[in-house]
A and B are shown apart, each in its own frame.
With several copies, the nearest count.
Chain A
Amino acid sequence: MAKILNIVETAYRGTLEEQDDTVLWLTHMLKNAGADISVLLRANAVNYAVKGQDASGLQFGDAKMTHPPEIDKDVEKMIEKGVSIYIVEEDAQERGLTDDDLLRGLRRIRRQGIPQLIDEHEQVWHW
């Protein structure tokens, strides 16, 4: 079975209406279907690994959004399931993120290490 690397770059695209990030959701589904899959969070998607993301409180007329996206929890669940979640250190630093801001269990990678990571996977899907 092919080793898959899902590279997630685009962040917060339609997440409110979807109640999640569609690529993380897809990754989770593929893992559940037996895929050998890892995730690389890069560019703005490093923010998906920030603790305490809170998208609650939306209301349109009398329609309250009772189940907002909880992307930090989605990432945590994937880590618990054994999905390796890599995060690009420079991308996090540029965005003002410190270790205290980030979830536990992430795998840090430097930009210069990405070509090797890509080489180690048979399928590389950049979303």
Chain B
Amino acid sequence: MASGKTITVAIMDAPYESANSTTALRIVQSALQKGHNVTVFAYEGAVNLTMKAQAPHPNPVKGTNVEQEAHPTTKDWVSSLFKLAKDKGAKLDWVNCGLCVDERGAGDWVEGPRRGGPKDFLDASNASNATLVIPTK
């Protein structure tokens, strides 16, 4: 059930590069599960998390094919989180930083996220009960 509370999370890491991305998605998962609204501000490399062209691959080291390997893609994780929000009656607002998207060519993304900028992050933070910035190194 929706709690009416909102958390804003800023993330910066590109997919597959850092433990931060998975932790951020775990936190979003926990928050939505509890019925909280979540705004994600995806800055810099994090705009690549939602790219539609991501595809799972086989693993030649293990000799597995694509189905056996069940390689996750971050776009699928994000899509599942949007579905979870809907099921819980909570809102997931995922903002991809527009200029970061342009320089990376990351503009074709799965259903859910929207294009925005730093002001969206500020507005979300001011309207939130808590803000967490997860920086990169």
A and B touch in the complex (CB under 8 A): yes
**How many chain A residues touch B (Cβ–Cβ < 8 Å)?**
37
Provide the B83-111 mask, 1 if CB < 8 A to any CB of A, else 0.
11000000000000000000000000000
Binding site secondary structure of chain B = helix
Interface size class of B (residues with CB under 8 A): 35 or more
Of the candidates B19, B61, B118, the one whose C-beta lies within 8 Å of that of A12 is B19
Comparing A22-30, A84-92, A94-102, A103-111, the segment that makes contact with chain B is A22-30
A32 to B117, CA, bound (A): 12
- A48 vs chain B, min Cβ distance (A): 14
A8-37 contacts to B, CB under 8 A, are: 10, 12-20, 22-23, 25-26, 28-30, 32-35
**Could you say which residues of chain A place their CB within 8 Å of the CB of B84?**
60-62
* A-chain residues with CB within 8 Å of residue B22 when the two chains form the complex: 16-17, 58
* Alpha-carbon distance between A18 and B133 when the two chains are bound, in angstroms: 20
A13 with B80: CB separation less than 8 A: no
Instruction: Give me the interface of B with A, judged by CB distance under 8 Å.
Output: 10, 12, 15-19, 21-22, 25-26, 28-29, 32, 43-44, 59-61, 69-72, 74, 76-84, 117-119, 121-122, 125-126, 131, 133, 135-137
Other A-B pairs beyond A15-B19, A19-B59, 19, CB < 8 Å: A1-B126, A13-B19, A14-B18, A14-B19, A17-B16, A19-B69, A19-B71, A20-B61, A22-B44, A28-B61, A32-B61, A60-B28, A60-B29, A61-B82, A62-B80, A63-B80, A125-B133, A126-B133, A127-B133
